[in-house]
Amino acid sequence: MDIQKLVSQLTLEEKASLCSGLDFWRTKPIDRLGIPSVMVSDGPHGLRKQNEQSDHLGINDSLKAVCFPTASATAASFDVETVHEIGLAIGDTCQHEQVSVALGPAVNIKRSPLCGRNFEYFSEDPYLTKELSTSYIKALQSKNIGASIKHFALNNQEHRRMTSDSVVDERTMREIYFPAFEDAVKRAKPWTVMSSYNHINGTYACESHELLTEILRDEWGFDGYVMSDWGATSDRVVCLQAGMDLEMPASGGVNDKRIVKAVQDGKLDEKLLDQAVERILKITYRYLDNAKPDTVWDLEAQHALARRIAADCMVLLKNEDAILPLDESDEIAVIGKFAMQPRYQGGGSSHINSFKTTSLMDVLEGHANVSYAQGYDIESEQPDEALIDEAVKLAGSKKTVIIVAGLPDQFESEGYDRAHLGMPACQNELIARVAAANPNTVVVLYNGSPVEMPWLGSVKAVLEAYLGGQAVGGATKDVLFGDVCPSGRLPESFPQKIEDTPCFLTYGGEKDHAVYNEGVFVGYRYYEKKKIAPLFPFGHGLSYTSFDYSNLSLSASSMNDTDSMTVSVDVKNIGQVAGKEVVQLYVSDKQSTVFRPIRELKGFQKILLAPGESKTVTFVLDKSAFAYWNVQLHDWHVETGEFAIQIGKNSHEMLLEDTVQVQSTVEVPEVYTVNTPFGDLMANPRAKVILAQMGSNMMGMLGTIGQEEQQVGDAAESAVSKDMLQAMLQYAPLRSAVSFSGGQMNFEQLDELLKVLNQ
- The per-residue pLDDT for range 547-603, each reduced to its tens digit, is 999 999 999 999 999 999 999 999 999 999 999 999 999 999 999 999 999 999 999
Predicted pLDDT of residue 69: 98
Cis peptide before 439 (omega within 30 of 0): no
The band of 695, judged by pLDDT with boundaries at 50, 70 and 90, is very low
Q: Report yes or no: 559 and 621 within 8 Å, Cβ to Cβ.
A: no
Give me the mean pLDDT over the 622-630 stretch: 98
**Residue 720, pLDDT score:** 63
Query: What is the three-state SS of 104-168?
Result: CCECCCCCCCCCCCHHHCCCCCHHHHHHHHHHHHHHHHHCCCEEEEEEECCCCCCCCCCCCEEEC
d(CA 125, CA 523): 8
Name the least confident of 3-7, 103-107, 122-126, 363-367.
363-367
The H or E element spanning position 376 is: none
pLDDT at 666 over 90: yes
| H helix runs in 548-677, sequence order | none
Average pLDDT over the chain, rounded to whole?
93
Give the 3-state DSSP-derived string for 424-469, with helices as H, strands as E and coil as C: CHHHHHHHHHHHHHCCCEEEEEECCCCCCCCCHHHCCEEEECCCCC
* C-alpha separations of 589 from 64, 157, 626 in Å: 50, 31, 7
Whether the predicted pLDDT of 705 surpasses 50: no
How sure is the predictor about 366, in pLDDT bands with cuts at 50, 70 and 90?
confident
Q: Other CB atoms closer than 10 Å to residue 731's CB: what's the count?
A: 12
Q: Are 19 and 246 within 8 A, CB to CB?
A: yes
Element at 618 (helix H, strand E): strand 614-621
CB 38 within 8 A of CB 287: yes
- DSSP string computed for 464-490: E--S--TTHHHHHHHHHTTSS------
Catalytic: 229? yes
Q: Return the pLDDT at 748.
A: 86
Which is more confident, 672 or 170?
170
Contact 471, 479 (CB under 8 A): no
Report the alpha-carbon distance of residue 135 to residue 116 in Å, rounded: 25
How much is the average pLDDT of 172-192? Answer: 98
Sequence-ordered list of residues with C-beta below 8 angstroms from that of 698, at least 6 positions apart, any chain:
691, 753
Q: Residue 721's pLDDT is what? A: 74
- Integer Cα distance of 316 and 466 in angstroms: 11
Give Rg (Cα) of the chain.
30
Report the percent of the chain where pLDDT is more than 70. 95
Please compute the mean of the pLDDT values over residues 212-233 and round it to a whole number.
97
pLDDT value of residue 132? 98
Q: Residue 7: in which H helix or E strand, if any?
A: helix 3-8
Q: Where are the beta strands (DSSP E) in 158-242?
A: 165-167, 192-195, 199-200, 203-204, 225-228
pLDDT at 204: 98
The Cα 418–Cα 508 span in angstroms is 11
Q: Positive or negative CA dihedral for 536, 539, 544, 546?
A: negative
Q: Cα 738–669–564 angle (5° rounding)? A: 155
- Asked whether 427 and 378 are in contact (CB, 8 A), the reply is no
**CA dihedral of residues 270, 275, 281, 284 (deg, nearest 10):** -140
Q: Average of pLDDT values for 629-650?
A: 97
Strands of 493-597, DSSP E: 513-515, 547-554, 558-560, 565-573, 579-589
Across residues 104-108, what is the average pLDDT?
Answer: 97
Q: Binning pLDDT at 50, 70 and 90, where does residue 35 land?
A: very high
| CA–CA distance, 89 with 300 (Å, rounded to integer) | 12
Residue 320: burial class (beta carbons within 10 Å; 0-12, 13-18, 19+): middle
Average pLDDT over residues 300-310: 98
718 pLDDT higher than 70: no
Q: Pairing between strand 332-335 and 400-406?
A: parallel
Three-class SS of 685-732: HHHHHHHHHCCHHHHHHHHHHHHHHHHHHHHCCCCCCHHHHHHHHHHC
Quote the pLDDT of residue 226: 98
Q: What is the pLDDT of residues 249-261, one digit of tens each?
A: 998 999 999 999 9
Average pLDDT score over residue span 52-61: 61
Please tell me which residue in 165, 229, 417, 589 is annotated as part of the active site: 229
Residue 693's pLDDT is 60
Residues of the chain above pLDDT 90, percent: 84
Amino acid at 683: A
Model confidence over 486-540: pLDDT tens digits?
999 999 999 999 999 999 999 999 999 999 999 999 999 999 999 999 999 999 9
Closest by Cα among 316, 321, 306 to 479: 316
CA 270/CA 595 separation, integer angstroms: 47
pLDDT at 696 over 50: no
Q: What is residue 681's predicted lDDT score, i.e. its pLDDT?
A: 79
- Cβ(252)–Cβ(233) under 8 Å? no
All residues at 6 or more sequence positions from 107 whose CB lies less than 8 Å from its CB, including other chains? 121, 122, 129, 130, 133, 149, 150, 180, 181, 184
DSSP helix/strand/coil, 400: strand
Residues 226, 212 contacting (CB under 8 angstroms): yes
CB 641 within 8 A of CB 590: yes
The model scores a pTM over 0.85 = yes
**Euclidean distance between CA atoms 697 and 753, whole angstroms:** 12
Q: What is the pLDDT of residue 707?
A: 53
Q: Is the pLDDT of residue 698 over 90?
A: no
At residue 709 the predicted structure's pLDDT band, cuts being 50, 70 and 90, is very low
